[in-house]
Structure 1
Amino acid sequence: MSILVIASLAESLINFRGPLLAALQAKGMQVHVAAPNLPEDSAVHQQLKALGYVVHNVPMRRTGTNPVADAFTLWQLWRLMRSIQPSHVLGYTIKPVIYGSLAAWLAGVPRRFALITGLGYAFQGQAKALGGLRALVQRLYGLALRRTDKVFFQNPDDQALFRNLGLLPPGTPSCVVNGSGVDVEAFAVAPVPPVPHFLLIARLLGDKGVREYAQAAQLTRALYPQARFSLVGWLDENPDAIAQSELDAWVKAGTLDFMGRLSDVRPAIEACSVYVLPSYREGTPRTVLEAMAMGRAVITTDAPGCRETVVDGDNGFLVQVKSVDALVEAMTRFITDPTLSTRMGQRGRQIAEEKYDVHKVNAVMLKEMGLA
């Protein structure tokens, strides 16, 4: 048997799906991976090849809805599947799910699976111009998902939404898994520093709550100058991206310590005392799981995907979406009671081990795919 795993971002095959690919390989499957920007001389290509996977570079624009480009992606994926004839296909994120599932159906792949890791800008954006885009994406989802054998979701809210919108037909089975999981051995517990130090790791997008984080940092620092606020991430081509000028202003004012894009986020998490993710909606936020595994308390929003990771008052605090005041209040509680971050961080580690261990998450996926 063989499986083709399709991604829209090459690095995610290692960073997010590495343990899953290894688990599939351990079951005796030949593992093929496909993503854009994977030429043979790229570091990611070489890493994947060294792990024993067959690597395919496919044309795919991660964002945008150019019909010619997307049709070419569909055709190329169909050609690839006709060539390698996998027994299983798994796509994750919007375009790999839509075009990967359709191509697999057209190519006659026996077992077809989709993993919904979040909704994306087409669902979450508020601009009126998004009405047509949203309708198109939902129609394409409906076409693709009714041709899958099973759809995996990372939180029950997304599953319910897809069912209610009719994107997931009644006859198509679905399953909620606990996110992408986290390697609790690689993300080991680290001592909590004594100085209040908050951290956000995210693509620099509006719907990740980056602006709210910056505003809350500015207000909190005015009251507690000793507090530090760090930001890890990168500017994105998404229409909802933070502008370079905004980022420059925060850094110049001393509001945020911008650390850029890190290949290894563990040193940044180790340096913080509390992890913050004010996102509007997630699948299940991987960075929160990593912070929990390293023994960090979490402030996140009472939003789909985020609320699953935090028991309010136990391993962190849940705050209202888009509420700067609620963020400031939660941050202040950690500053005025230094014992909270250590106690809540210990509970976060326990929850990560019990619920989000990547090997437990992958075992569920393999079982649901008939590969256990």
Structure 2
Amino acid sequence: MKIVMIGTVASSFLGFRADLIKALLAKNYTVYAFTSEYTEEELSEIERLGAIPITYELNRGGINPFTDIKSTYGLSKKIKNISPDLVFSYFSKPVIFGTLAARLAKVPKVVGMLEGLGYTFTEQPSGISKKTQLVKAAQILLYKLALPQLDKIIFLNPDDPKDLLDKHDIRVKEVEVLGGIGLNLNDYSYTSTYPSQPTFIFVARLLAEKGIHDYIAAAKIVKDKYADAKFIVLGSIDKEALGALTEAELKQFTEANIVEYPGHVNDVPKWIANSSVFVLPSYYREGVPRSTQEAMAIGRAVITTDVPGCRETVIDGVNGFLVEKWKPQALAEKMIYFIEHPEQITIMGYESYKIAQDKFDADKVNKRLINMLGL
């Protein structure tokens, strides 16, 4: 049986799909990994996994109908040459254009997975810009065209189908909710030892939508009361994104001893293990944030926002706290709670670990996903 998986960046196959590919290969399926952004080394790594890498053209960013029509036609020819039994696409553009291409190629079964609704569906404190509204309208139009062509659409959280399908009256044949895409738990060792001073950690790109500004604002509030509290920031600066934390701002906050920023690190799990509590005040339309799953697997209590995706990781008051988005004061209060009740760091951290074992074990998740794919 031949399966075509359509993504965009090759690194996503290596970082997030490797265990799924291995599970499919173990069932003697032939897997073709379609990627539009890649290096030769990444293509070699996909081959070493046991999949067959296929490159195709897709303009991941802009919306140019002529370019997209041409890309869809080219993609359909590549799919037709393989003549697969199933096409499984993930991420917004591959789900749209991969689905249309698969139908053109007359593939018997086509399944798509949307891992969050992304930037265009993210509410902003100052409202959504006219440009973003236009992009969102175009995206919804394309979803209305493509999603009814799917045999099944899979979401990671239960809010996304409501906000996309129900709100915009998009008819689909079948909907499933997977939960997080999961982790290889062997890569994240549980640890119940904590630093002597309360240490909070933020791991994400330094974007407004990921909550970096709220994290820093909350850190200031906490440090006014507990000066020895530590606040670590891990993540890359995005010079293009609107509202992203700038290098100058980051320098200002590190020099003022509000946050510590070690720069690029390769051992993120080690940094999480050397912290007390994981904090992600995101308001981005996540699927289910992977960094939070990693922190939970390591055994860290979590403070995150009560928004789609993020709320799938925390049972409020059990393994951490859910706070309202855009509320640094509420965030600070929960951080202070952990400082004043240090025993809860251990108790809630262990609860996080148990939830991760149950919900985010890649082995269990991939079995569910393969079942959803009808394999």
**TM-aligned CA distance change 1:315 to 1:66, over 3 Å:** same
State the partner residue of 1:320.
Answer: 324
Of residues 220-229 and 98-107 in structure 1, the stretch that sits farther from structure 2 once superposed is 220-229
Residue of structure 1 aligned with 2:348, choices 312, 328, 344: 344
State the partner residue of 1:224.
Answer: 226
1:336-366 C-alpha deviation (Å, 9 max, x unpaired): 2211111100011111112221111111111
TM-score where L is the length of structure 2: 0.92
Counterpart secondary structure, 2:295: helix
Residue of structure 1 aligned with 2:167, choices 165, 168, 174: 165
**TM-aligned CA distance change 1:252 to 1:81, over 3 Å:** farther
Q: Give the fraction of aligned pairs with identical amino acids, expressed as a percent.
A: 39
Q: Cα distance, 1:129 vs. partner?
A: 2.4
| 1:116 and 2:83 correspond | no
Q: Cα distance, 1:59 vs. partner?
A: 2.8
Q: Cα distance, 1:10 vs. partner?
A: 2.2
Counterpart secondary structure, 2:130: coil
State the partner residue of 2:104.
Answer: 106
| 1:203 and 2:205 correspond | yes
| 1:266 and 2:269 correspond | yes
**TM-aligned CA distance change 1:167 to 1:152, over 3 Å:** farther
Residue of structure 2 aligned with 1:91, choices 89, 92, 113: 89
Distance 2:368 2:6 in 1: 20
Contact 2:297/2:352 (CA < 8 Å) preserved in 1? yes
Contact 1:233/1:259 (CA < 8 Å) preserved in 2? no
Contact 2:233/2:260 (CA < 8 Å) preserved in 1? yes
State the partner residue of 1:24.
Answer: 24
Residue of structure 2 aligned with 1:284, choices 271, 288, 296: 288
| 1:253 and 2:256 correspond | yes
- TM alignment of 1:61-210, pairs within 5 A: 61-124=59-122, 126-166=128-168, 168-169=170-171, 171-190=172-191, 191-210=193-212
State the partner residue of 1:10.
Answer: 10
Q: Cα distance, 1:57 vs. partner?
A: 2.6
Distance 1:246 1:138 in 2: 36
State the partner residue of 2:338.
Answer: 334
Contact 1:192/1:296 (CA < 8 Å) preserved in 2? no
Of residues 254-263 and 142-151 in structure 1, the stretch that sits farther from structure 2 once superposed is 254-263
Letter in structure 2 aligned against 1:361:
V
Distance 2:95 2:234 in 1: 28
Q: Cα distance, 1:241 vs. partner?
A: 4.1
Distance 1:332 1:351 in 2: 24
1:250-304 C-alpha deviation (Å, 9 max, x unpaired): 3343332224444442112111111111111321111111111110000001111
Q: Cα distance, 1:150 vs. partner?
A: 0.6
Distance 1:135 1:221 in 2: 43
Of residues 309-318 and 79-88 in structure 1, the stretch that sits farther from structure 2 once superposed is 79-88
| 1:35 and 2:35 correspond | yes
Distance 2:161 2:303 in 1: 24
Unaligned runs of 5+ in 1: none
Q: Cα distance, 1:246 vs. partner?
A: 3.5
Contact 1:196/1:227 (CA < 8 Å) preserved in 2? yes
Distance 1:132 1:21 in 2: 36
Counterpart secondary structure, 1:32: strand
TM-score where L is the length of structure 1: 0.93
Contact 1:155/1:308 (CA < 8 Å) preserved in 2? yes
Counterpart secondary structure, 1:151: strand
Contact 1:204/1:242 (CA < 8 Å) preserved in 2? yes
| 1:60 and 2:58 correspond | yes
Aligned length: 368
Letter in structure 2 aligned against 1:146:
P
- TM alignment of 1:333-372, pairs within 5 A: 333-371=337-375
| 1:294 and 2:292 correspond | no
Contact 1:114/1:151 (CA < 8 Å) preserved in 2? yes
**TM-aligned CA distance change 1:25 to 1:240, over 3 Å:** farther
Contact 1:297/1:316 (CA < 8 Å) preserved in 2? yes
**TM-aligned CA distance change 1:209 to 1:50, over 3 Å:** same
Distance 2:209 2:56 in 1: 28
**TM-aligned CA distance change 1:39 to 1:127, over 3 Å:** same
CA-based RMSD of the aligned residues comes to: 1.9
Of residues 254-263 and 119-128 in structure 1, the stretch that sits farther from structure 2 once superposed is 254-263
Q: Cα distance, 1:311 vs. partner?
A: 0.8
Letter in structure 2 aligned against 1:310:
V
Q: Cα distance, 1:235 vs. partner?
A: 3.1
Of residues 133-142 and 122-131 in structure 1, the stretch that sits farther from structure 2 once superposed is 122-131
Distance 1:301 1:63 in 2: 28
**TM-aligned CA distance change 1:59 to 1:369, over 3 Å:** same
Counterpart secondary structure, 1:90: strand
After TM superposition, where is structure 1 displaced by more than 6 Å over at least 4 residues in a row? none
Distance 1:326 1:186 in 2: 33
